[in-house]
Amino acid sequence: MTGGTFYKEEIEQLPRGDLDALVDERVRYTVKYAAEHSPFYQRWFAEHTIDPGAIREHEDLLALPVISGQSIRENQPPVTSGFLFRSVGWESIFTIHETSGTSGTPKSFFLTWADWQRYAEKYARIFVSQGLGSGDRVVICASYGMNVGANTMTLAAKEIGMTVIPTGKCSFPPRVFSAYRPTAIVGSVFKLLRLARRMESEGMPPKESSVERLIVGGESFADESRNYLGEVWDREVFNTYGSTEGTMCGECHTRAGLHVPEDLVHLDVYDPHRDTFVPEGECGRIVLTTLLAPGEHCGTLLLNYDTEDTTVVISRDRCSCGRTHMRIMNPQREAETVWVAGTPFNRVDIERGVFQRDNMDLVTGEYEAFVAPGDEEGEVVLQVSMEYQDPAGPGWRGVEERFRASFFRYKKRLEDAEEDGLFRIEYRFVRPGGLEMSSSKGRPRRLIDRR
């Protein structure tokens, strides 16, 4: 069922020294391209008295300021009359995209046909590294909208001879399974869990389906929820991380972190509190820089762009799959991090508590959480709501205890705050469909700070 082991073997196995040299050559060209074609960066270089010609290698990027999504919003209509990040003429723009930002105006992104080909190449490498290829039929549940993921995955399929069934959502009719016998599905953890429940109820157990592997992405998740998804389907689950900005990273078949296509996008990990890049093994924000090969053009070019997602670089050593490109941990969204009593916790920490294995016979995995002021002065309450499977189930106490143990495991200060009466966890168990987010539209927000 599979194609080759590599999509572009020579590049994917390039020794570290050669890969760094290739990156440096592309950094020099990309910076030069920005200085010549990006109205935003022309002004940025001048304002920060940066000599673009002095940026010779990727380490030089560390000395430059970091820009953010806000920088993009402030340099596009309605704030400015034109799109200052657009770095090629209108006649060369193939498609226009928007990111579904959680706040304010969506950010606009412009892609040339060459950008499409580069995005597709990133996905093609990921799919091949996960064992997909000619003969595979892949249902793409990721949405075909103003974001770029599903669209460029489809182009990637052409590159590797794979068939795509572009349903765009996981609520497709059961005949898709019987008629086309798909071998893989791309979707989010929760969509694929819901799909599994639906298949069970329609007498078509996912374990007996033609599907051989699942590819998840689109949101961060706890290892526990991925493991549970793998168990429900009895299939391997591979992770991908993609964004309209062009960071397409994915796990290879060894599942030892997500490979970053280092020749196509440069990724650094930055500590916004210390205003510096963090060393390997430490957590920080992902800062990315577009990389263009000499002579290439691109629609929206980014240098030192803070994605507001956090990760840790696992290794720059060769992976056991043979790839030399660095591996990172599953990124988390900084926007989904909440601080209580001087301690941060992320939505994923809540998800981990919910998906403790012994909970899963009692709850469905669907959850939402709110942080709110408590009754006492200075008290903060974390309200966790979970859907239960079995309304007669007597096991709530156990669910609560397992959640607690998981949640406080690496959060001693929060546990101390609980002892001091400054923090409390409240649990609610609701009927399927009874969560507040079930009645709201759009991407579900599972952790909301109401203080």
- Residues in contact with Zn ion by CB under 5 A are 252, 254, 319, 321, 323
Closest CB to Zn ion among residues 224, 251 = 251
Q: Which of 109, 118, 114 has its CA nearest to residue 156? A: 118
CA atoms within 13 A on the CB side of 82: 10
Q: Which amino acid is it at 39?
A: P
Closest CB to Zn ion among residues 16, 297 = 16
CA angle 380, 309, 27 (to 5 degrees): 155
How many other CB atoms sit within 10 Å of the CB of residue 207? 13
CB of 323 to Zn ion, least distance (A): 5
Q: If DSSP codes are grouped into helix, strand and coil, which group holds residue 353?
A: helix
CB of 233 to Zn ion, least distance (A): 22
Phi, psi of 365 (to 5 degrees): 105, -20
Closest CB to Zn ion among residues 209, 311 = 311
CB of 255 to Zn ion, least distance (A): 8
Closest CB to Zn ion among residues 125, 266 = 125
CB of 160 to Zn ion, least distance (A): 17
CB of 280 to Zn ion, least distance (A): 17
- CB burial of residue 36 (10 Å; 0-12, 13-18, 19+): exposed
Q: Which amino acid is it at 105?
A: T
Closest CB to Zn ion among residues 321, 350 = 321
How many other CB atoms sit within 10 Å of the CB of residue 202? 11
CB of 133 to Zn ion, least distance (A): 16
Neighbouring residues of 189: CB distance < 8 A, sequence distance ≥ 6: 216, 219, 221, 225, 226, 229
Alpha-carbon gap, residue 91 to 95, rounded angstroms: 11
* 358 close to 398: Cβ distance less than 8 angstroms: yes
CA distances from 92 to 41, 46, 154, 264, 289 (A): 19, 27, 21, 20, 21
Alpha-carbon gap, residue 46 to 372, rounded angstroms: 45
Closest CB to Zn ion among residues 69, 217 = 217
Closest CB to Zn ion among residues 209, 240 = 240
CB of 336 to Zn ion, least distance (A): 27
Alpha-carbon gap, residue 410 to 284, rounded angstroms: 18
Closest CB to Zn ion among residues 96, 312 = 312
CB of 251 to Zn ion, least distance (A): 8
Buried b (16+ CB within 10 A) or exposed e, 165-194: bebeebebeeeebeeeebbbbbbbbbbbbb
CB of 443 to Zn ion, least distance (A): 30
Q: Which two tokens stand for residue 6?
A: 């590599």
Closest CB to Zn ion among residues 252, 350 = 252
Closest CB to Zn ion among residues 196, 319 = 319
